[in-house]
Every structure is written in structure tokens, then in C-alpha cells.
Amino acid sequence: MQSPFRIVQLSDTHFLKDDALAEGGEGAYDTDAAFDAVFTHIAANHDPHMIVVTGDIADNGFTDEYRKAAEAFSRFDVPVNVCPGNHDHFGHYSARIGRPGVSTSRVIEIDTWAHVFVDSAAGTLLPQASGTVADPPPPVRLNSNGVLGARETAWIRETCDTIAAEHVFIWLHHPPAAPLGLTEDAAYEAEWRALLSELPQVRGFGGGHTHVPDDYEIDGCPVAVAPSLKNNFSMAPQTWLPPGYRSYEFNANGSWSSDVHLVDDERWPRRPFGSLLASLFRGDISHGELRQIIERRNAERTAN
């Protein structure tokens, strides 16, 4: 392989159908503009061998949002491989994202490495009598903080056994055990801790979901969390962040490194965020409660 093998990771692109409202509303970035800015920044600063996109491809899971995403990803002149997130409608995603150069491969082997692409919300899918799986009624998948389920867990284990790669890197939407109250989920964390104890060849994870770029470890295994293109935050200091992406270098000896890149621009100032958003990230209030508080404040403002 070309060593080091260079990958650029985008996550949480949240492409939005032209006449649709952004899920969650308040403060959502123009994700078309964010993609353009990120695409231009990558072209000017990196020379990747492959692009990876780790879920929340579409904001509402509409078929037109996948068409838009696929056209955007087709602009890269290197292969693009994607996996789904909790915002993705699995049926629409599976049917509409593929294009020449844009794929949903689940395993990509590169020399001593196997890159394994996991659906970290697969446990929400409903087995059908036909033998296929179907999306659960909304908002089950949307609200999922990550659930592998028996089928995906078995697939990860069996895949790692079958490919027998020396080094495995897991790409997925929900990073396991992210140190953020909002996304804490003991059951999901336990699924990964059990798998890691059986799969010593796993060298790390690349995820998204939190919209808070971060680096940490689970059971000594490093986890890299990518920035989002919809809205993006820093916890220390507590500020909004511009959209961004991560770059990676994978070496034949199993080592890897990664950096976060943010695309600063006056459209996305690094302004402080208040106690309400801080409460959300700590997990003190839910997204639904946040929405209710904002609606109540807006109504009070209008009344005054």
C-alpha cells in the first residue's frame, strides 16, 4: 500500500432537502455551504487516498437528501465510503447513496489493515418475515445513542475472524463511551467493551455523532471523534465551532494518527454558548426539553 495510507473523514454532513426544515432547528448551519467550505479546504491542504463519511449523511433521511449527498461526495476524485448514522433512514440510505466512486462497502482491506464500517444503530432495525430488515417507526432510530444488537455484533466478530487482518480500524457513527453526558449509554458501551475483549486486533475507532470533536480511549483503544458540518461545538471553552473534518495516517505497522481541522469563517464564529446548551451536553435536559424551553422563550419575547 501507499504508506502511510491517508484518509480524510467527514461526519454528520446532514444534507437537507431544499424545502425541508433542519431537524432540531435552532442554530443549524447551512450544510451545503459547510460542505463546499470543507471540500475546498481539503483540496487545498490534503492529498487523501480515500474519503470516509461516518453517518448522519442526511438530516431527515429523505431520498432527495441522499441524491444531494451522493452528488456532493462524487466531487472527490478519490473513492468515498460511507456508513449510516441515527439520522439516516436505512432503507433510503441503502438504496440511494451509491454512485461510481461512492460506496457503502462494509470492509475495505488495505495491506495489513482492514477498515470495518459498522452501523452503530443497527440494533433498532426490525427483522422482517422476508429475511430483510426494516427501519423502525420514527423517531426510534433518530433518538438512538447507539445500539449494535445481536446481528451487528455477530457480524463484527465474524468479519474480524474471517478477514484475519493484522490491524482493524472501526468506522462508525456513534463513538463508544464518548465522555459527554448527552450521549452516555451504558448498554451501548457494554456492547463494545465485550467486543474489544475478544478482538485484540482493533487499533481504534473513527466516529462522529456528538458534534463535539474529541480524542479519548475506551479500554486502552483510542477513539477519534470528527467535527460535524451541521453545527459543531467545543466543551472547553464552551463555544460554537466552525464545520470541519479529520485527517488520518495509517502505517503498515499498525500505528495511526489523526488531526482535527476546522474551517474558520465569519459565517461560523466561535461564539460562546450559554447555560441551556451546556445543560443539554451534560445530559441534564433532553433535545425535546431544550426545544420546549426555546419555544417558550420565543413566545414570551413575542408577547412582550
Contact residues for Fe ion (CB under 5 A)? 12, 56
Cell numbers standing for residue 275? 447555560
In one-letter notation, the amino acid at residue 130 is S
Which residue number, 116 or 225, has a Cβ lying nearer to Fe ion? 225
Which residue number, 167 or 174, has a Cβ lying nearer to Fe ion? 174
Which residue number, 56 or 119, has a Cβ lying nearer to Fe ion? 56
Per-residue DSSP letter, 228? P
In one-letter notation, the amino acid at residue 260 is V
- The CA distance from 236 to 258, in Å, is 20
Which residue number, 56 or 214, has a Cβ lying nearer to Fe ion? 56
HEC assignment per residue over 132-153 = CEECCCCCCCCCCCCCCHHHHH
Closest approach of Fe ion to the CB of residue 130, in Å: 30
Which residue number, 15 or 76, has a Cβ lying nearer to Fe ion? 15
Terminal-residue alpha carbon distance, the chain: 65
Which residue number, 22 or 252, has a Cβ lying nearer to Fe ion? 22
Alpha carbon of 168 to those of 6, 151, 171, 207, 252: distances in Å? Answer: 15, 19, 10, 14, 12
CB 86 within 8 A of CB 136: no
Q: Which residue has the cell 443539554?
A: 280
Closest approach of Fe ion to the CB of residue 28, in Å: 10
Closest approach of Fe ion to the CB of residue 187, in Å: 20
DSSP 157-226: HHHHHHH--SEEEEE-SS-TT-S-GGG--HHHHHHHHHHHHH-TTEEEEEE-SSSS-EEEEETTEEEEEP
Closest approach of Fe ion to the CB of residue 297, in Å: 24
Closest approach of Fe ion to the CB of residue 304, in Å: 34
Which residue number, 86 or 247, has a Cβ lying nearer to Fe ion? 86
Residue of 43, 9, 23 whose CA lies nearest to 224: 9
Closest approach of Fe ion to the CB of residue 59, in Å: 8
Closest approach of Fe ion to the CB of residue 254, in Å: 30
